[in-house]
């Protein structure tokens, strides 16, 4: 677990403890970006948020498995891949779907709130997978990095100019990969 900045540390409750901590971190980071959807949704909001967090909790299986299997990726590679992903058409398509809560609800208004949360989270994972890889694999899940990535996600999903902010983030990550690789 050295790549997580936790060399020699084992979670006190194993998988359950990791999953609880991971889901709590995802709630803190990602629920602000789902806020517009929650506000516009006129049905029960708790199942909506629960569906959203269920997907993000399931994503925690990937870093947990990597820790268990002793996978320690090189930070410059993760930064570069995360940056390149920010520049792809897949990222752009997911970002368009993820950031337009009104359109998302109009297309899926017949789905129940839990399913709406799951579907929205899937688009959000597609939107944020590069940033999450950077957080987990290169930034050692540090609180300052989590706050910075949460701010980037918020900017991309809520503020104007999402494509520009995504491209700038991608270029910054690629530049960081070069700098980290040279040091």
Give the range among 81-85, 118-122, 144-148, 175-179 with minimum mean pLDDT: 144-148
| pLDDT higher at 53 or 14 | 53
Q: Examine residue 4 and state whether it is found in any structural domain, yes or no.
A: no
pLDDT of amino acid 6: 45
Averaged pLDDT score across all residues of the chain: 85
Tens of pLDDT, residues 67-102: 788 887 888 999 999 999 999 999 999 998 888 888
Query: Is residue 60 a part of any domain in this protein?
Result: yes
95 belongs to a structural domain = yes
What per-residue confidence (pLDDT) applies to 108?
86
Q: Which pLDDT band, with edges at 50, 70 and 90, does 174 fall under?
A: very high
Please indicate, yes or no, if residue 107 is contained in any of the structural domains: yes
Alpha carbons within 13 angstroms on the beta-carbon side of residue 75 total 18
- Can you say whether residue 161 is alpha, beta or left, with left for phi > 0 and alpha for psi between -120 and 50 degrees? left
Which residues lie below 8 Å from residue 137, measured CB to CB, with a gap of 6+? 3, 63, 66, 73, 75, 78
**Residue 1 counted as domain residue:** no
In-domain check, residue 5: no
Q: Quick check: is 58 in a domain?
A: yes
pTM above 0.75, yes or no: yes
Asked if residue 24 has pLDDT above 70, the reply is: yes
What total number of domains does the chain contain?
1
Q: How confident is the model at residue 139 (pLDDT cuts 50, 70, 90)?
A: low
pLDDT of 22 above 50 = yes
pLDDT at 4 (0 to 100): 47
Burial class, 51, CB count within 10 angstroms (exposed 0-12 / middle 13-18 / buried 19+): buried
Please classify residue 98 by burial: count the beta carbons closer than 10 Å to its beta carbon, then call 0-12 exposed, 13-18 middle and 19+ buried.
Answer: buried
- How much of the chain exceeds pLDDT 70, in percent? 91
Which domain range does residue 158 map to?
10-182
User: Residue 34: inside a domain, yes or no?
Assistant: yes
């Amino acid at each position: 677990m050295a790549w997580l900045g936790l060399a020699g540390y084992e979670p006190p409750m194993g998988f359950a403890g990791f999953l609880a901590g991971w889901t709590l971190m995802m709630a803190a980071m990602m629920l602000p970006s789902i806020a517009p959807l929650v506000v516009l949704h006129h049905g029960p909001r708790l199942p909506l948020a629960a569906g959203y967090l269920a997907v993000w909790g399931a994503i925690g299986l990937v870093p947990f498995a990597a820790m268990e299997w002793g996978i320690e990726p090189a930070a410059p590679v993760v930064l570069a891949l995360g940056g390149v992903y920010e520049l792809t058409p897949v990222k752009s398509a997911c970002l368009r779907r993820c950031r337009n809560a009104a359109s998302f609800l109009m297309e899926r208004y017949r789905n129940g709130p839990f399913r709406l949360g799951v579907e929205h989270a899937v688009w959000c994972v597609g939107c944020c997978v590069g940033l999450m890889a950077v957080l987990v694999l290169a930034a050692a899940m540090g609180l300052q990095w989590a706050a910075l990535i949460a701010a980037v996600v918020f900017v991309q999903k809520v503020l104007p100019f999402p494509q520009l902010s995504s491209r700038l983030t991608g270029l910054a990550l690629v530049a960081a990969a070069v700098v980290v690789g040279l040091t």
